[in-house]
Structure 1
């Protein structure tokens, strides 16, 4: 079956029902925040206090919907609990789930699937680099305008509000991000708004002291590009 036919069948059968259900529970409460995320937390065993309206939608629609979906898709609830609740990257999982659900509410189930926003952004934080590698796609030898520290923080503010959910993961790239003197300030700011922070680096500037600073400011992973 070709993809166009599959998408047509989905749009005429499953999608209208799924979209209506997700749209009902996709609400942002001034008191409680995202009902999509809060209802999943309760489904996975967290004890949350919700306002009356959110509680009714959660108990009457969201939880039964998740129960039905988990049985139909043979989802291991204990596995989900470990990933979302117990895992150190749980907040990234929650944001990814909300982006997926909002994508279903907006577009239905498509092939390929379309979430409401990206799960990760690889951000060319700077054009500058301390190397001039022949194979590199970035022309680091040419001077070009750079964002100021405050402008970079405003970009992160935008990332943190993507699709009214926020970005699950951000990777600093470039250029060589560590060339910028404000990298650690901006990375620390990003960690306060985005659950998972990583960096793509050539590794030449990473000393023991720099590695310790990367850990302190919340960088979870360093991809050394020269090693692939």
Structure 2
């Protein structure tokens, strides 16, 4: 046995309740839509937390940010509905502004303690070349919330909660692959609801990329299409020299 194998990586599908934190209203569908649909198919609870209002996500100079906020919220609700998710929490932070790490950590700790999920899904803040600070800050603040939510003196005060795992999506070092073959078309249907983000031409290219990538992740694992995650326990998130290789 190697030292890094002493702490066992949990099987994320064994959880009963999941909190999925996304920086923008389409991230969950893009990176974990198949997993979400699979969990809802198994009657497990999924709660979306959308951090920003998505107001900057357009190439159209005629589309006003306040109108886009309403459009993207509607699209997010419709996409979540396709996957079977009915509980959505919108935090409403301004899109592309500098997010406060400390403030987000506090909000995430509160949500973890209130919702008491088995697992938390987050964007991987250590993805190389990630230029969007929103993804990095949300991922880091979320990871700290996982680490600190069991500690009673971390704000906000409340009944502490220990998560079983955190799963980072949009990751380059996955250690967990979920078979989403049977739900692939549903994932694409949900992504397609984000019409403000994906023109028909862009959606065609995106769906081709996602399909090829999912096939590559599934190769050699008996999966036609897979989604990939870096799943860790809270113990992996502090001073653990083996985490990169887990």
TM-score in terms of structure 1 length = 0.27
Larger helix share, 1 or 2: 1
TM-score in terms of structure 2 length = 0.25
- RCO higher in structure (CA 8 A, sep ≥6): 2
